[in-house]
Amino acid sequence: MVRNENYIHFGGDEVIHPSFEDSHIVVLPFCYEQNPSYGAGSREGPIHILNASCQLERLDEETLIDWTNRMIHTHTPMYPSTTPEIAVTQMRDAAQKVLKAGKFLLCLGGDHAITIGPVMAAKAIWPNMGVLQIDAHADLRDQWNGSKYNHACVMRRLVDDVNVPIVQVGIRSFSPEEAALIQKRNYKVFYAHTLDSFNDKWMEQVLEELPANVYITLDLDGLDPSVIPGTGTPEPGGLTYRQVVRLIAKVGQNKSVMAADITELIKIKGFYSSEYTAAKLATKIIVFCT
């Protein structure tokens, strides 16, 4: 696994960057992309999110919490193997070191396949954990583009191989095979078209379906492309920024969030809102879940 020694810490130079040992939160950038379905470029997504984080103000506007006081250590960005099976193992091992040290883990992707390894690591520590997936896509294919570890298969690997319960929010794109699997196994899916923008009652149902310990995986295409156009498959009809923030807050306030990730950021040249919004969402996870 290659490491990029030239990188910006989350929050930039004005933020105190503790050592790994002194930190409470570890940001772990996984620069990984393999066989994307449509738009390419998520491999460098973590770097763009870190760059954008330098422009963030320190106070969270809702809580007036200074998120930079949460003792955030940014790990050297990692470039896993291009062989998916090896990459998953490398990312699992890197995540395991963070979680075993008792740190809150926030992974930055990369394509959505980066989620598999960290969830494996978390499951080994918290056997009864579950996964909240915010996403446009079901990601329940057994194989896609020649691999079982493709980004389109991430949730299938989690339910079949890692054996974790999942709750899916914002889903609006899936194959007939995935729809049949959802119905057969009775997965808990909150489809985007059913989510009222002016009534958050559905979020209480999400909480009811989640166990006490939760891993949050946030695929940025879960948000509407009017909010984040910089992603590989920008599906229309997604969640608003405020919906996602309120959901993160409710989960953080009512569950024990063990770790989280943000994936599928693709830089649009000359356009900065996607990576800035992704970095802002990272601070919301830090404020509400740690």
How many Å apart are CA 10 and CA 279, to the nearest integer? 9
pLDDT at 116: 98
How many Å apart are CA 222 and CA 215, to the nearest integer? 16
> Average of pLDDT values for 206-226?
98
Reported as a pLDDT band with limits 50, 70 and 90, residue 5 is: low
How many Å apart are CA 232 and CA 210, to the nearest integer? 28
How many Å apart are CA 217 and CA 141, to the nearest integer? 17
> Average of pLDDT values for 92-99?
98
Annotated domain spans of the chain: 2-289
Within 13 Å of residue 153, how many CA atoms lie on the same side as its CB? 20
pLDDT at 38: 76
Reported as a pLDDT band with limits 50, 70 and 90, residue 172 is: very high
Q: Is 10 exposed, middle or buried (0-12, 13-18, 19+ CB in 10 A)?
A: buried
Phi, psi of 263 (to 5 degrees): -135, 170
Reported as a pLDDT band with limits 50, 70 and 90, residue 39 is: low
Reported as a pLDDT band with limits 50, 70 and 90, residue 215 is: very high
> Average of pLDDT values for 248-258?
98
Does residue 17 register a pLDDT over 70?
A: yes
- The chain-wide mean pLDDT, for the chain, equals 95
pLDDT at 147: 87
**Which of 120, 103, 139, 114 shows the shortest CA–CA distance to 257?**
103
pLDDT at 160: 98
> Average of pLDDT values for 45-51?
97
Other Cβ atoms within 10 Å of 267 Cβ, number: 19
Name the H helices within the chain: 45-53, 84-100, 116-125, 154-157, 176-185, 201-209, 241-254, 273-289
How many Å apart are CA 136 and CA 236, to the nearest integer? 9
pLDDT at 183: 97
Secondary structure class of 64 (helix, strand, coil) = coil
Instruction: Report in angstroms the alpha-carbon separations of 286 from 10, 59, 71, 93, 99.
Output: 12, 12, 10, 23, 16
Compare 257 and 8 and report the one with higher pLDDT: 257
Does residue 46 register a pLDDT over 90?
A: yes
pLDDT at 54: 96
Quick one: tokens of 257? 């969030």
Percent of the chain at pLDDT above 70?
Answer: 99
Does residue 2 register a pLDDT over 70?
A: no
By DSSP bridging, strand 256-263 and strand 104-109 are: parallel
Specify the residue for token string 């810490």.
Answer: 9
pLDDT per residue over 18-36, tens digit each? 999 999 999 999 999 997 7
pLDDT at 36: 77
Q: What's the topology of domain 2-289? A: Arginase; Chain A (3.40.800)
How many Å apart are CA 235 and CA 92, to the nearest integer? 29
133 has which bridge partners? Answer: 168, 217
Does residue 3 register a pLDDT over 80?
A: no
Contact 225, 236 (CB under 8 A): yes
pLDDT per residue over 121-148, tens digit each? 999 999 999 999 999 999 999 988 888 9
Percent of the chain at pLDDT above 90?
Answer: 91
> Average of pLDDT values for 51-63?
97
